[in-house]
Amino acid sequence: MIDKTVLRAKVEGTTNISTLPDVVIKLRRMMDSPSMSAAVAGHEIGKDQVLAAKVLRLVNSGFYGIRTPITTITQAMVLLGFDVVKTLILSASVLDILELMNRHLSGLWEHSVATARVANALADRLKLPNPEEIAVSGLLHDLGKVVIAQRFPNEHREIRAIVDARNCLQVEAELEVLGVTHSKIGMWLLKRWGLPAKLVYPIAYHTEFLAGREFADRTAIIHLADVMCRARGYGYPGDNRVPAINREAWDLVQITMTDVQDVYLQLDHELAGTLAL
């Protein structure tokens, strides 16, 4: 087992996955300015045509449930808000790696998009503020699995072998091989990127929910969305198990089985045509 300090240092090391392009850092700083307008920010993002195209692919990929195609970054900002688009810029920077991961773990991208969509639908149904931000956490909730595959290929193969042999949850194999879960590894990377806690905490603790933590309502939504997607067979998260729903998470957001069924009915036909980029 790799020493945790060494493990974290390697996750945070300068690689193609943990170093953001200069344009992304510049855009994040610009968008933090209270005087920044959607038009100016959209123009700046548009200067990097590859990045702009990736952001628009994410916006139109289905996890926001927007039926009318969004064709400009400015339009995306007006509909979704600065914070969401700023986070989508970060998400777009790892889009290629998420797609590459599908070659190693087919179905992970589909599971991630579905979790984002279910999280958005639950948050909207339960009247939580900023459901679009919660959806971004859903999209990136399994980013740590990508990091494991990219940075620790030998351990990744060992984890896959354990999951296949025992038909267990991937987090159980991760703990055995690495001593930490993909949730913790994803948190290390996202903290290095400087993402706010309201986006990082739901990713970091969706497999280890505690009601007393900050942003527990958002974390509960990501936890429930992940389990719901597993139960419904949306994509493939790395194992065939459906973990038990945390009772505290269920009680905190006061979700009902009627809510669950309604979200399934809403998303079954929507997701069918939107799970591929």
Distance CA 192, CA 188 (A): 6
Q: What is the DSSP letter of 218?
A: H
- What is the rounded average pLDDT of the residues 259-268? 90
How far apart, in whole angstroms, are the C-alpha atoms of residue 119 and residue 164?
Answer: 28
The CATH number given to 1-17+105-277 is 1.10.3210.10
When mean pLDDT is compared across 73-87, 234-248, 253-267, the lowest value belongs to: 73-87
Q: Which residue ranges make up each domain of the chain?
A: 1-17+105-277, 21-93
Q: What is the CA radius of gyration of the chain?
A: 18
Q: What angle, rounded to 10 degrees, do the helices at 38-46 and 82-93 form?
A: 10
Query: Which one of 5-14, 20-29, 183-192 scores highest in mean pLDDT?
Result: 183-192
The 10 Å Cβ neighbour count of residue 212 is: 6
User: Which tokens belong to 116?
Assistant: 């984002």
pLDDT band at 17 (very low <50, low <70, confident <90, very high): low
Per-residue pLDDT, averaged over 55-78, amounts to: 77
pLDDT (0 to 100) of residue 260: 93
* Calpha distance 169→205 (Å, rounded): 16
The per-residue pLDDT for 97 is 61
| CA 269 from centroid of its chain's CA atoms | 22
Backbone dihedral angles phi then psi of residue 140, each to the nearest 5 degrees:
-100, 10
Q: Residues 104-160: pLDDT tens digits?
A: 678 888 898 899 899 999 999 899 988 888 988 998 899 899 889 888 999 999 999
List the structure tokens of 180: 């930490």
How many angstroms separate the CA atoms of 202 and 198, rounded? Answer: 7
Q: List Cβ neighbours of 91 (8 Å cut-off, separation of 6 or more).
A: 58, 136, 139, 140
Tokens of 240: 């065939």
**Which residue reads 């459906």 in tokens?**
242
Q: Could you tell me the pTM of the whole model?
A: 0.81
